[in-house]
């Protein structure tokens, strides 16, 4: 078949800082998805976009073209509002687990399509798969039934949602163009919009353990994604949250599920509770629910009831004993003082090296591997007290995990205070 445009002409337009027309963008995404544009040509276009950017109209059209490459879910038959959350990924970020059932308590359906971990950031599905019997892969009919019956589902996205994104992401990953904000934003938002949610809250992480290392970059990404949501008719807001130190006291899989259940039981680490409640408030507000009290629903057991139903609906046993690592090793405080830094990236890499994460998509993860933290920034510690416990089934991994933690901990004299704020900003307008 003859093609409407020529790939080289498209590349030249972005190389020369020009603007692509809607028709050119539609053709580009369609042609690449069906193989009419070669990988090396799309790689060149991606690099031109990274260097020269895109305007709001281009990014919006790029996103809708990616959505059009596959199916789009529709939850209108549920008869209730839908709201979802997306995190850009961090260390110890188990927030989705308590958040989805918490929001469902208030009659808002939560279709949470999640992913698996790659590198130092943990995957929600990896955590949940440590629960005996739980399954991530559901049909669209199963998702709809569970949303109607339980109100919340956390599962894998089907292959039919934005297939262009899967192909584009794999190419960006090997061509140094992952960091292009138009491409990050359209990648995330094409899947979230195709998922069919009525409203969306974005948790954009900032800091060493996050994809975005500084606040200005994170704000740009958040504004871009909020604009894409608004352009698509999805009520979207973003919180910028701190990922300089891990969330909670665990980084791993089964141990993060355990900590999430503590939060659902009305306990758990203060930072995990704070962020869960704040995101729930934002999701409920976006869905039009007023005067809800998510903190009360954690304390009184209503969120736990929905969690148990959600896990059972996907074949899991919420009361089953979770896997435990066969081996452990403790790291001790080197001095007296105040723990003022516990670097998120270092902890994430160490947990990954212990077996909690994967380097390639096809790698297996260890359900019991990870790190328990016994102190967080702000805590007073004494020399020789446990700071972290490393967990793995394969003790030969301890050496490289310890290497990752070199320099991760900073202890300052008593009276020092860490410079830490959990929620850094809120973006509601593009």
DSSP state of 247: S
Based on the residue annotation, tell me whether 231 is a catalytic residue of this protein.
no
How far is 245 from 57, CA to CA, in rounded Å? 36
Across the chain, what does the average pLDDT equal? 94
What would be the CATH architecture of the domain defined by 327-412?
Alpha-Beta Complex (3.90)
What confidence tens digit (pLDDT) does each residue in 64-99 have? 999 999 999 999 999 999 999 999 989 999 999 999
Task: Give the per-residue pLDDT at 118.
Answer: 63
Task: Give the per-residue pLDDT at 116.
Answer: 76
What confidence tens digit (pLDDT) does each residue in 260-274 have? 999 999 999 999 999
| Parallel, antiparallel or unpaired: strands 386-392 and 327-332 | antiparallel
Q: Among residues 86, 192, 223, 376, which one is catalytic?
A: 86
Task: Give the per-residue pLDDT at 117.
Answer: 67
Q: Among residues 191, 302, 372, 397, which one is catalytic?
A: 191
Q: Among residues 187, 190, 199, 260, which one is catalytic?
A: 187
Based on the residue annotation, tell me whether 187 is a catalytic residue of this protein.
yes
**Low-confidence stretches of the chain (pLDDT beneath 50):** none
Task: Give pTM, 2 decimals.
Answer: 0.94
Based on the residue annotation, tell me whether 299 is a catalytic residue of this protein.
no
How far is 354 from 370, CA to CA, in rounded Å? 6
Q: Among residues 165, 203, 231, 343, which one is catalytic?
A: 165
CATH number, domain 76-159+195-319:
3.40.1030.10
Based on the residue annotation, tell me whether 374 is a catalytic residue of this protein.
no
Sequence spans of domains, the chain: 76-159+195-319, 327-412
Q: Among residues 61, 127, 172, 397, which one is catalytic?
A: 172
Beta strands in 76-166 (DSSP E): 83-87, 110-114, 152-156
Q: Please give the helix or strand (H or E) that residue 328 lies within, else none.
A: strand 327-332
For 260-279, letters b (16+ CB in 10 Å) and e give bbbbbebebbebbbebbbbb
Mapped onto helix, strand or coil, the DSSP state of residue 324 is coil
Task: Give the per-residue pLDDT at 119.
Answer: 66
Based on the residue annotation, tell me whether 120 is a catalytic residue of this protein.
no
């Amino acid at each position: 078949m003859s093609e409407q445009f020529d790939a080289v002409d498209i590349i030249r337009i972005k190389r020369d800082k020009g603007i692509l027309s809607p028709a050119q963008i539609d053709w580009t995404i369609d042609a690449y998805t069906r193989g009419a544009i070669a990988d090396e040509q799309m790689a060149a276009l991606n690099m031109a976009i990274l260097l020269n950017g895109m305007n709001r109209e281009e990014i919006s059209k790029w996103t809708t073209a990616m959505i059009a490459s596959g199916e789009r879910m529709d939850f209108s038959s549920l008869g209730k509002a839908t709201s979802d959350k997306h995190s850009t990924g961090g260390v110890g970020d188990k927030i989705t687990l308590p958040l989805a059932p918490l929001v469902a308590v208030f009659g808002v359906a939560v279709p949470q399509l999640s992913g698996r971990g790659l590198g130092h950031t943990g995957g929600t599905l990896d955590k949940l798969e440590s629960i005996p019997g739980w399954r991530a892969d559901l049909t669209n009919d199963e998702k709809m039934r569970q949303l109607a019956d339980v109100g919340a589902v956390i599962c894998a996205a089907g292959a039919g949602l934005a297939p262009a994104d899967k192909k584009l992401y794999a190419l960006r990953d090997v061509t140094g163009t992952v960091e292009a904000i138009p491409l990050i934003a359209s990648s995330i938002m094409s899947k979230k919009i195709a998922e069919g949610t009525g409203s969306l809250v974005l948790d954009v992480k900032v800091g060493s353990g996050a994809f975005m290392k500084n606040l200005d970059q994170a704000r740009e990404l958040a504004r871009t994604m909020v604009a894409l949501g608004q352009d698509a008719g999805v009520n979207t807001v973003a919180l910028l949250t701190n990922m300089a130190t891990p969330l909670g006291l665990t980084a791993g899989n089964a141990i993060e599920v355990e900590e999430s259940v503590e939060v659902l039981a009305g306990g758990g680490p203060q930072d995990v509770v704070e962020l869960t409640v704040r995101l729930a408030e934002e999701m409920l507000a976006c869905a039009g629910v007023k005067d809800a009290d998510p903190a009360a629903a954690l304390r009184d057991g209503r969120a736990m009831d929905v969690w148990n139903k959600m896990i059972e609906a996907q074949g899991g046993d919420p009361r089953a004993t979770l896997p435990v690592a066969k081996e452990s090793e403790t790291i001790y405080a080197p001095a007296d003082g105040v723990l003022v830094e516990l670097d998120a990236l270092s902890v994430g890499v160490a947990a990954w090296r212990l077996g909690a994460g994967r380097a390639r998509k096809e790698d297996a993860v260890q359900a019991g591997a990870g790190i328990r933290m016994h102190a967080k920034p702000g805590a007073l510690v004494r020399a020789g007290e446990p700071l972290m416990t490393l967990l793995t089934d394969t003790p030969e991994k301890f050496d490289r995990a310890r290497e990752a933690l070199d320099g991760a901990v900073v202890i300052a004299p008593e009276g020092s205070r860490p410079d830490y704020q959990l929620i850094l900003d809120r973006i509601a307008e593009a």
